[in-house]
Amino acid sequence: MTQKCFFFAGGGTGGHIYPAVAVAEKIAELEPSARICFFVSKRDIDKHILSKAGFEYTALPGVGFSVRPDRFVRFCKSLVSSYRIAAQILSKSSEPVIVGVGGYVAAPVCYAGHRLRRPVYLINVDIVPGRANKLIARWAKQIFAQFDETAEYFKTNKHKVSVVGCPLRSGFEKPDGQRARDALGLDNKKKILLVTGASSGSRNINRTICALLNKLGEYADDWQIVHLTGRANYDQIKTCYIGAKIRHKVVDYCDDMADLLAAAEIVVGRSGAVSVAEYASAGVASICMPYPHHKDLHQYLNAGKLVEAGGAVIVDDIPDQKERAAWLWEELEPLLNEQRFREQMKRGSKSAARTDAAKRIAGVLVTS
């Protein structure tokens, strides 16, 4: 019997790789004999995630798009190199199925699959598709989206869109908040405020929370903080907590977000598509601080879906730190004080959850 091969293409952030890992886990359950491989970027986050997940991967020499002449030339050269590497690997594989998940390494792989006349699929979890995904859509047999609004952004390819939700890793099926508390040495009697800037961390969110530590110290009897800083920011933020009255655990990165979100009472964080889906799955009250520098502002649109459901509020990541901190505190203080507000938001958040996306996508792929 011929072994079927599934190739996922994308990377650079956890938001690109985690949905692919979630689908890959389901494929492994449905078709244990299948070969599952990833084409990713050379960023450390890609290596870290896939080493933990246990899937085979190839790092491609892709670089991000830029209009600067020197960087554009480098971008074009990296595309050609990535295409050649992918084409060589795909051509030697039996019955390959290619799945783009976003990021600058996805397009050359999907194009190689298209040229080899192999089925190409696309997973797009943000409301607004990025440049690479818009390109891949023309080669895709089917596009899996998290949000209904996404179809309109694909224009001539919107008939290919299936709205299934965001694929979440298997840990979200049976999360264990107590396991996270035990692993981090947290106080079982205190509620958890979780702060996260997603896989890369956020300097502005980090600094804003540090600016509020004196105010948060007044809640030390009932609350504790788990602060995910991002690896580049860990040492600086760890220093900010010296002398803080409130119990805290400062961590650079967390692989087990399902357990940690299950333990959390409130989360303050970015609103990438995967983060929003994880907040909803966990049913946690969230204060979203969307990344403000994307041209399409897609993190605002992602967060808006949780706001519509009553599960979140938005605080703008404005340039002035004092104003940013004041705005965050205006939204955070009532949630720290009032359980009924938190419970309302938890119910709203949970109502927005779609939990079967990974299974549905995997089911289509294994029968393609």
Residue 70 has pLDDT above 80, yes or no: no
CA 301/CA 281 separation, integer angstroms: 18
Percent of the chain having pLDDT more than 90? Answer: 84
pLDDT for the residue 269: 97
Name the DSSP class of 155: G
CA 143/CA 134 separation, integer angstroms: 10
Closest CA to 312 of 368, 269, 260, 355: 269
Q: pLDDT tens digits, residue range 217-257?
A: 999 999 999 999 999 999 999 999 999 999 999 999 999 99
Matching residue, tokens 């800083």 = 229
pLDDT for the residue 103: 85
Least confident of 65-69, 136-140, 192-196, 296-300: 65-69
Closest CA to 15 of 280, 308, 316, 276: 276
Residue 206 has pLDDT above 60, yes or no: yes
pLDDT for the residue 104: 85
- What are the residues whose beta carbons fall under 8 Å from the beta carbon of 51, sequence distance 6 or more? none
Q: pLDDT tens digits, residue range 312-335?
A: 999 999 999 999 999 999 999 999
pLDDT-derived band at 296, boundaries 50, 70, 90: confident
Residue type, 224: Q
pLDDT for the residue 147: 95
pLDDT for the residue 64: 64
pLDDT for the residue 146: 97
- Number of Cβ atoms within 10 Å of the Cβ of 69: 8
CA 213/CA 227 separation, integer angstroms: 12
- What are the residues whose beta carbons fall under 8 Å from the beta carbon of 146, sequence distance 6 or more? 124, 125, 126, 127, 163, 164, 165, 166, 273, 277, 354, 357
Report domain extents, the chain: 5-163, 172-351
Q: What homologous superfamily does CATH list for 172-351? A: Glycogen Phosphorylase B; (3.40.50.2000)
Q: Which two tokens stand for residue 316?
A: 């703008």
Query: Is the model more confident about 304 or about 12?
Result: 304
Instruction: Please give the average per-residue pLDDT across 195-214, as a whole number.
Output: 93
Distances 58 to 104, 311, 338 between C-alpha atoms, Å: 14, 38, 49
Q: Do 172-351 and 5-163 have the same topology in CATH?
A: yes
Distances 15 to 11, 126, 272, 331, 359 between C-alpha atoms, Å: 8, 9, 7, 26, 18
pLDDT-derived band at 126, boundaries 50, 70, 90: very high
Instruction: Please give the average per-residue pLDDT across 272-291, as a whole number.
Output: 96
> Could you tell me the fold of the domain covering 5-163?
Rossmann fold (3.40.50)
Rounded CA Rg of the chain: 21
Computed over every residue of the chain, the mean pLDDT equals 93
